[in-house]
Amino acid sequence: MSLILSFDIGYASIGWCVLSSGSTQTDPDFLGTGVVTFPTDDCLASKRRDLRRTRRHIRSTRQRIERMKRWLIHRGVLSRADLDKPGHPAPFLLAAAALQGHRTLNAWELWTVLRWYAHNRGYDGNSRWSRDEATDDDTAKEAAAKALMTEKGTGTMAETICACLKLDPAKSNKTISSHLPYKTLNAAYPRAIVQNEVLNLLNKHEGKIPGLDGKTLDLLFTPETLSDDDRDLLKAADIKLPKRYNGGLLFGQLVPRFDNRIISSCPTAAFWNRILTPLNGDGKTSRHQKKLINCLNNTDIFFAPRRGGWWKEESTSSRRKLSHACLVPLRQVQTASWLRSVEL
């Protein structure tokens, strides 16, 4: 006897049926049927997405700290044993004291502060994918952080936290704990503010710690795209970054994969602009341009002005989505006055 399993998959339930079919049977026998229903809000993708985002955040933070450790070891700033030691109980207090000029941090103290910043890099509004990820809750947290800074009269995240905990950075060697909370204030400090305070902190210690030279700090902090030479230096420290990684070891991040599917400019913009600009400096059309334009006019190809160039449209269904003002046959764009009136 052979069995047949049949499923009816819906968005809130799955129906199932088990049938038997023999070689001599005309109709199958129903051995069992049923339905599995999902409780309300039990199958929302948002829950899985939030859990996946948490896992990725934890993984990326661990990778970030490990890369920073390897770079500092390679540059001779600290040993692996020193880097793996437990951190200072109040790294924000050390950061605030150094920013205000009350103390100069040693290598281990600076590493403790950098490791704290690796966990608290500030909120950047998900600038690379804010079309989908930014929420009103994130905006409210950022506004709350700015309000706290205004209330406390501070300009950095570390100093604001110390003010909320009523800790004096000038007395960082005496009092380092507080009974007041600060993680329950529902505040997300803007990434730009955190970057500026970290840059200021690193500049204050450049050259004062062995191995902490300009190149060491540059690859820790740089907001720019890494050059091939920078990547070679990191490879020498056994740090291999993906090609889509952008920025330094502390504030860098992977470019979202879907960005490589967004065409910001027409890949053939220069070619089509040469064809679609018939007038030379003397007001005449070149022979080469006439030949190409006449050839293209015999085809049913349309061109639409788009950001960065002319976008080729051959699909009728695609053309229906475009406005009449943005879509014209090629033969109608052979005047310089029309071309100059169109904003690409």
Which pLDDT does position 344 carry in this prediction? 38
Read off the amino acid at residue 199.
L
Which pLDDT does position 244 carry in this prediction? 84
Residue matched to tokens 């400096």? 281
Q: What is the mean pLDDT of residues 304-313?
A: 41
Contacts 24+ apart (CB under 8 A), 275-282: 276/303, 276/310, 276/330, 276/333, 276/334, 276/339, 277/336, 277/339, 278/334, 278/335, 278/336, 279/336
Which pLDDT does position 85 carry in this prediction? 93
Q: What is the mean pLDDT of residues 102-119?
A: 95
Which pLDDT does position 136 carry in this prediction? 59
Q: What is the mean pLDDT of residues 273-302?
A: 54
Residue 262 has pLDDT above 80, yes or no: no
Q: What is the mean pLDDT of residues 301-328?
A: 39
DSSP track, 2-63: EEEEEEEE-SSEEEEEEEEE-TT-SS-EEEEEEEEEPPTTSS-HHHHHHHHHHHHHHHHHHH
Residue 82 has pLDDT above 70, yes or no: yes
Residue 19 has pLDDT above 60, yes or no: yes
- Structural domain boundaries in the chain: 2-37, 56-260, 269-341
Q: What is the mean pLDDT of residues 136-162?
A: 88
Which pLDDT does position 30 carry in this prediction? 85
Which residues, 6+ apart, have CB-to-CB distance to 67 below 8 Å? 234, 239, 241, 249
The pLDDT confidence band at residue 127, using thresholds 50, 70 and 90, is low
Which pLDDT does position 268 carry in this prediction? 58
Residue 312 has pLDDT above 70, yes or no: no
Which pLDDT does position 185 carry in this prediction? 84
Question: Is the pTM above the cut of 0.75?
Answer: no
Which pLDDT does position 261 carry in this prediction? 54
Q: What is the mean pLDDT of residues 77-99?
A: 94
Please state, in angstroms and rounded to a whole number, the distance separating the CA atoms of residues 22 and 32: 16
